[in-house]
Structure 1
Amino acid sequence: MPSDVWPRHGWVRLGENWADCLRSSLGEAEREEVADWCRAGRPLVIARGRSEDGAGELRLGLATPDKRRIGLHVAAEAVAESWGPLPLAEAVETAPEAWRPMLAELVRRALAVGVGPAVYGSLAWQHRTGLGYVRPDSDVDLLFAPRDRRQLDGLLDLLRAFGDGSPRLDGEILMPDGAAVAWRELAGRPDRLLVKGPAEVELRDLPSVLALFDREDAA
């Protein structure tokens, strides 16, 4: 299934027949925990696929506030409802009060660059479920999708300015080809970058990554 249909860091709510749609087995305890989670109406996050996955299959993750993780491999028919990655603007009021002014200012400045930030990780889980995931020392994981080199450079300047404050900002830049790279790694301008695709992880050289944004800018 194309990554724009099931984007990594997006969200789904499973239907009642989800267990019939499993494509990889779950242990009995994990299956019961997922069942309880779904009965409570809570969503799961869309994870990176694997090269061996078939068409119409997706990988999902369930993360609990105590940091346990359950991975699911299901057919798309299991999905009752889906959303894209959570906009940071929607999650600001879920964050600890001391973080809110900085996060709101980050949203404002990112929008001025032309890119609306999304959030994943603990703050997104807390917003989506109402459970307590965020700790005082938690990072905020952000996702940006700049369309061209001007937006990319503006975002990296912004993240350098805000990134080591409180809270610390981590996260990814989504590239025009659908793969993603950690913003901190890209900001360091190394010769080679670890790039996460929809179903694979690979090393790419810096010029080839930057060229993707140059082509978008020229289009």
Structure 2
Amino acid sequence: MLYRHNRVWLSSSGWQRACAAASPAHLSALQHWAANDWPLVVRRSESVLPADSLGLGLALPPDAQTGVKTRIPLTVTLNEITQHEPALAFSAVANAVPSAWQAAYVDLIHELDAAQLKLHVYGSLALQAITGLPYLTAKSDIDVLFSPHTHVQLQQGLQILQTYSQQLPLDGEIVFPSGRAVAWKEWANAANSSHKVMAKSMTTLNLMNVDDLLFGLEQQS
């Protein structure tokens, strides 16, 4: 099953079709991506796609002058996908972390290892680690994906994220067993109340009760 932020590699025919359908403004970027065999990223689709199709995205580094980030949406068929993997593991992007973040980031990796928690990274830091292109700026966040299986893991992970967010610009999402994702900061503010939180799935973005999302954790051993 493919979820948001998974990395996806296309076949040569998939790239050919993507380039043929691209606007002139995006063509060179797609060709560059294809030539380097860099992955695309699974995105939420605003409309229902055919069962054999998947929405992907390609995000370019921010423009050096304007800071504008160009995002190129694509739709591919499943038979054009040659490989797919989750977002990069937290430790896999360590070499791309700016020096100002390095010490705290390494400490965070050790803390996660000690708690036996596996977090992943998407967004600018992950893309810079994959491509070597200049995605990170002074305003960049570290976008994390945290997929707890139990209530204990959820509480441990939240505590660690809250602690290290005082030293690192941590952002990102908690992904619940249902596949729905909630911004971890929003969850931290709402989890002890009856508030609703904004939850994302592959096709929807809607408000959900905290208890409805927690119910999935109850089913995990």
- With normalisation by structure 2, the TM-score equals 0.87
Q: Give % identity.
A: 31
Query: How many corresponding residue pairs?
Result: 211
- Structure 1: distance between partners of 2:5 and 2:127: 11
Task: Quote how far apart the aligned CAs of 1:135 are.
Answer: 1.5
Which residue of structure 2 lines up, in the alignment, with residue 168 of structure 1? 169
Quote the offset at 1:188 in angstroms: 0.4
Computed over aligned residues only, the root mean square deviation of the Cα atoms, in angstroms, reads 1.9
Q: Is the 8 A contact 1:177 1:212 kept in 2?
A: yes
Is the contact between residue 15 and residue 34 of structure 2 (CA under 8 Å) also seen in structure 1?
no
Q: Distance in 1 between matches of 2:93 and 2:159?
A: 23
Query: What SS class does the counterpart of residue 3 from structure 2 fall into?
Result: coil
Q: Deviations over 1:134-183 (max 9, x none)?
A: 11331100001111000101111111111132x31001011011111110
CA distance in 1, matches of 2:14, 2:28: 12
Match of 1:87 among 75, 86, 89: 89
Structure 2 unaligned spans of 5+: 63-68
Could you say which residue in structure 2 is the equivalent of 1:213?
217
* Inter-partner Cα distance in structure 1 for 2:200 and 2:50: 19
For the pair 1:28 / 2:29, whether they are aligned, the reply is: no
Residues 51-130 of structure 1: pairs in structure 2 closer than 5 A:
51-66=47-62, 67-130=69-132
Letter matched to residue 24 of structure 2: E
Residue 122 of structure 1 aligns to which amino acid in structure 2?
Answer: S
Distance 1:139 1:33 in 2: 24
Query: Structure 1, unaligned stretches of length 5 or more?
Result: none
Q: Deviations over 1:114-135 (max 9, x none)?
A: 3211000100000111111111
Opposite residue 75 of structure 1, the aligned amino acid is T
Q: 2:8 aligns with which of 6, 9, 12?
A: 12
- Higher mean Cα deviation, 11-20 or 175-184? 11-20
Given that 2:8 and 2:42 are in contact with CA atoms closer than 8 Å, whether structure 1 keeps it comes out as: yes
Partner residue, 2:201: 197
Please tell me whether the aligned partners of residues 43 and 129 of structure 1 are also in contact (alpha carbons under 8 angstroms).
no
